[in-house]
A and B are shown apart, each in its own frame.
Chain A
Amino acid sequence: MTDARTGRTRTLAIALAALVAALVIAACGDSDTVGGGSDEDVQTAKGGKASGSVTISNWPGYIDPGKNGTVNEFEEKTGISLEYIEDVNDNNQFFGKMKPLLDQGQSGGRSMFVVTDWMAKQMHDLGYLQDIDYADVPTVEKNISDIARESVADPGRKFTIPWQSGLTGLWVDTKKAPGIRSINDLFDPKYKGKVTFLLEMRDTVPMVMMADGVDPETASKQDWLDAIDKINKATDSGQVRRWTGNEYTEDLTAGNAVASIGWSGDASLIGNPNAEWRKPTEGCTIFTDSMVIPVGAPNSPAALEWADFAYQPEVAADLAAYITYFTPVDGAKEVLQKSDPASANNPLIFPSEKFLEGCVAQPEPPGGPEDVQEVTDAFADATTG
């Protein structure tokens, strides 16, 4: 028995000693920085004649599938072979997955992916993206709508081409909770445990701020932290049932939730006929998901060709009708007026200016990187009970 004990102790001792030795060696050796992006100059993506094969990552549900879908159309028209992967499920998760590659200047074979504008900015700041010269994408330049051309995250659109935009607001089960018209209604104890919030910080926190009368575009860091505090209390008390990405649609479908903060284009995912998207009385946020070209993109000319293709009004019309979010392409509405008037008149696909009143583009938390990190951490802590 003593033998066994000393034997095991000796084993553990050796193991520990080895670990400590390795750490000491590491400390004395290179004290390099892991991560933090690259310091190299930002390149501009190569344009020009496109050919060959190209891989693009996008969010699920952002393309009309099948034989008559846009991907096939593109391949037939241009002869370029397009591999379209739907592996962007969440901005942070995608970032976490891609970061190790991007740090090394690689993109894992992708020539383009689609992330929300604020994430594009974060990636650009870290040197992970190439710039885009709109001269290389004439159709985009011609057809991009005025609203889409403006951007808080990328003023002047230097490294992004918008794919789709959408509104964040309230999805409400009109039979079970007809009275919900404002974000503050979600904090009503009457609905305890039956509401879900979005994990997307730049949607949820600004909307909570707006409901309390704070203008997100001029809010201070303290305003953000105060709103996060209110959210934290609601989470701890069980008022909020779950924090979700896209899966709030499941809870609405199954009747687990009567109201969710959610995105305007998700009607097709919610199997609950009583569910309806409502713009909160105090306003909403507008998000834009954009195409970006990463460093190490193997075939950026082909990727740019794809972006150009998607901005032709007929193609954009097909996409808009299927995806049910709003398109950044002028001319799509006119095409749909003839072929699919129901879609053309859907305010969620083609919102009027009046409809968009009070809606702001997703704001960034104010301050430098450390401040943004502080807000991000506070929010992340608040959302995991």
Chain B
Amino acid sequence: MLRRRLVPYFLLGPGTIWLVLFFLVPMYFMAELALRSGTVLTGFQFSWEWSNFSDALSENNEQVVRSFYYSGVATLVALLIAYPLAYAIALRAGRWRVLLLFAVIAPFFTTYLIRTIAWKTILYDSGPIVDAFQFLQLIPDDGRLLATQWAVIAGLTYNFLPFMILPIYASIERLDLRMIEAAKDLYASSRQAFLKVTLPLTAPGIVAGVLLTFIPAFGDYVNPLVLGGTNQSMIGNRIQVLYLNEGNYPEAAALSFLMMALILALVVVYIRFAGTEAFMGEEVEET
């Protein structure tokens, strides 16, 4: 009897220990680092330096706002692109389904960096895409796509699209189609059926997708680095510069914590607002 009660702890054990040791403990060290002061050359002393946090925020508020803006737009666009695609794959694709799904994940296997550099190759100033945009007057004749915010946002959208597609797909795939049939039997139009049945039932997938896209996008620094110019840096770039170029470890750590706190706050608000427990995995089967 006792053994049965202990089973879950044994199962959880290895993973929990790993996460505690290599996630929580580092977080503690980073918190400790955020409260130190000094320079690389003179060393860092622990001194309850709360000003690191306020400095981090005040010196980098431009990047904070910009990160919100870029990742917000990218997430929205990704959602708009992903939902119809996921819908098509789940419900309309038939025998092409597996192939399409695979095509969605395939980009994953070519290394994040190379994908982004490929976009740099495609969007370069004298290239065909820029020429086409100039021809269509979408950008001025001496305009460019790289080193602008649009390139960065496009890069973010592209790179995190699979994270948006897969949860939504999973959610749609699990739909009990009989619900939609029932709605139609009750004289709902296709549009009404979609808005009032499909959409709400696939909400958990949307919530998961939005979170899985927004969060990494918010902290990304590769896209601004490769596709952006001087005025497109995001929080991630600042943290990297603070850490590696300036050697200002305390402020880098403080900024990282601020970023985490912002994200957690957003997540809590969002989940509360979207009102679903499914993402946190609260549901358990009846045994």
Contact = CB atoms under 8 A, between A and B. Distances in A.
Nearest to A197: B230
A26 B32 contact: yes
A93 B42 contact: no
10 contacts: A4-B277, A26-B32, A33-B44, A34-B44, A36-B38, A36-B41, A93-B244, A238-B229, A369-B42, A384-B233
Nearest to A239: B230
A110 interface: no
A326 interface: no
Nearest to B121: A254
A140 to B, nearest CB: 29
Contacts of A99: 40, 247
Contacts of A242: 147, 229-230
B48 A27 contact: yes
Interface stretch (B98-106, B154-162, B205-213, B235-243): B235-243
A243 interface: yes
Contact of A23 (B31, B124, B127, B241): B31
Contacts of B63: 384
Given A35-B40, A37-B41, A19 B31 contact: yes
A23 B41 contact: no
B147 A369 contact: no
B229 A377 contact: no
Contacts of A383: 230, 241
A380 B125 contact: no
Contact of A238 (B32, B44, B230, B233): B230
B46 interface: yes
B109 interface: no
A34 B32 CA distance: 11
B28, B44, B125, B249: most-surrounded residue (chain A CB, <10 A): B125
A385 B231 contact: yes
Interface string A117-157: 00000100110000000000000000000000000000000
Interface in A354-385: 369-370, 372-373, 376-377, 380-381, 383-385
Interface residues of B, number: 46
Contacts of B237: 384
Interface string B56-84: 00010001000000000000000000000
Contact of A385 (B32, B40, B230, B248): B230
A14 B162 CA distance: 35
Contacts of B233: 384-385
Interface string B215-246: 00000000000000111110001100111111
Interface string B12-28: 00000000000000011
Given A92-B245, A241-B230, A385-B229, 17 more contacts: A19-B27, A19-B28, A19-B31, A23-B28, A31-B46, A34-B44, A35-B44, A93-B245, A95-B244, A96-B243, A96-B245, A241-B229, A255-B126, A369-B42, A373-B40, A376-B246, A380-B246
A235 interface: yes
Given A19-B31, A384-B241, A126 B232 contact: no
A367 to B, nearest CB: 12
A256 B124 contact: yes
Nearest to A253: B124
A385 B66 CA distance: 11
Contact of B232 (A37, A97, A193, A385): A385
Contacts of A372: 41
